[in-house]
Amino acid sequence: MSGPGKTTVVIGGASGIGLATARELLAHGHFVVIADIDGEAATARAAELGGTSEGASVDVSDEASVAALFDGVLERHGSFDGVVNCAGVSTLSLVVDHDVAEFRRVVDICLTGAFIVLKHAGSRVADGGSLVTLSSLNARQPGVGLVAYCSAKSGLEMLTQVTALELAGRKIRVNAVSPGLVVTPLTAPAMDIPGIKDDYIANTPLGRSGEPEEIAAAIRFLLSDDSRWITGENLDINGGAHMQRYPDIHGHVMKAFG
């Protein structure tokens, strides 16, 4: 059973991998709540996709906002079976130059926000449900200038495992997926900087970037009953990039802009 009759919340679903995931789940029979910090965009995407979907607003760094999202889903639908959290942000700075407030902003959204989502989803999702968080190749691979993002994503891997242990008694599975280079509206500006995309591809054994739809398919699998014996996993989806080195993004930016 892949999804017919299941209600799934996709946070960060108004664009990129989140939007591709919403499309994938709709195509496989889920009712999808597309939630995003841009609530208007989420509602617009739901209208465009049609079918069994609706839009909602949420700020993962605001606990009251996250709690209200899931309470609203329960009020409207009675229960929900899965959550996908794609919310994230990054920044670029060397450790010795890093603004502390900017470091905290990235960690607050990527790690603390994920904790808040798992806290409130975990207490409300139906027994036997599935929670999936979008992590990154940077959960295992360091990158110069990416200390905030790498730290957050590395922490997310352990957050996933601890939550999986704690929710296993209710047969709730908790997993993460870690994409390599996937060109989305979020990553597109960096890909326009000379050398960055070529460096990624050179360090990806399968020789290409990924597609949002490929990540979405893996997320759907982790939400489905086909993965019912998988929990606490961080699934690398990166064309083998985790076996090589991370691109020198900071070096390419400095070369381009000084």
In tens, the pLDDT along 238-252 reads 999 999 999 999 999
Q: Give me the residue label for tokens 């699934």.
A: 235
> Is 149 marked active-site?
yes
What is the biggest distance separating any 2 CA atoms in the chain, rounded to whole angstroms?
55
CB 125 within 8 A of CB 81: yes
Q: Give me the residue label for tokens 């940077």.
A: 138
79 token code pair? 């229960």
pLDDT value of residue 188: 85
Q: What is the pLDDT confidence band of residue 232, given thresholds at 50, 70 and 90?
A: very high
Question: What digits encode the pLDDT tens for the residues 114-160?
Answer: 999 999 999 999 999 999 999 999 999 999 999 999 999 999 999 99
Q: Which of the following is catalytic: 80, 149, 200, 246?
A: 149
Going along the chain from its start, the domains and CATH numbers come out as: 7-183+209-240 (3.40.50.720)
* pTM to 2 decimal places: 0.96
